Structure 1
């Protein structure tokens, strides 16, 4: 995996201390996140409620208010605010004898997936999930470029029947905000909401 990808994961708050190994799964499964990730097109879900519940603190100490806001949004919870979650589980529906062998039977044929996905074997790793559409993001473990594989998306309602190419992993990670970027979005949202009330 490209060092730039690991650097970006670290900037996003991921722990890469155990991200070593010879293969993409070994490296990816060594990464951990203690919080969800937020995309740059996130619309501020939950911020208005957070402000209402902590309005007194905002009035007395905006620094403390925003510290608490970051602690809330960057904690290990799954309250649905439109965030994405780091994942690292394997999905091998065409590998004979695997725990999910045949899971796509009757839904989609291997040849149909091969029209979109590039790879010798159709073994996948889910790298992110979300509450939105699509709600699963995968890489193919035999991608021709294992240093920077293509990310594919699908949704549980059309699981692997509809697959979209989301670009390389390095480019895909650019969709996520660092804590500082998130803080700027949150401040802008709250200040905009307050100015519209006055």
Structure 2
């Protein structure tokens, strides 16, 4: 007599490991189906968990998007820190490394991060989250480039201009409007110009 077939039991993961799994599945869903298709229910289905598990981790779709942006930002920060630490202590090399690292990071996420950023921009609460990470990146930029600026340092307007150029050029490279090489080179030149104007 055959023993009854039992479905495989769900694997129990730590809360941290489950959150990591859900984020990875969410990135895959965005890549395959677009950000608009990403709902907590769809994520639960794709991850093979119940809806309450996903709601427990993120609360709402806005919480999931915020977690995805944070995940992107953490990876971007690690990439920046590693690259900048290895750069030569000169403005030209720091600008080159910054430009390369920024474009590479956005390109690595492909079409996923622009969709998340667009969704973040549509919500005042999530726009606040995005702004917090932008300001943290501005502080990082100030730390990298202020040693090469004039006595007044880098102005906030100059730092925002640098970040705006980085976002626009990276997005253009991801969408195929320009090459990654062109985006990196233009961003490098833009950074050099912004810093040199501050002298």
Provide TM-score, normalisation by structure 2: 0.27
Structure whose alpha-carbon radius of gyration is higher: 2
User: Which protein has the bigger strand share?
Assistant: 1
User: Which protein has the bigger helix share?
Assistant: 2
Provide TM-score, normalisation by structure 1: 0.27
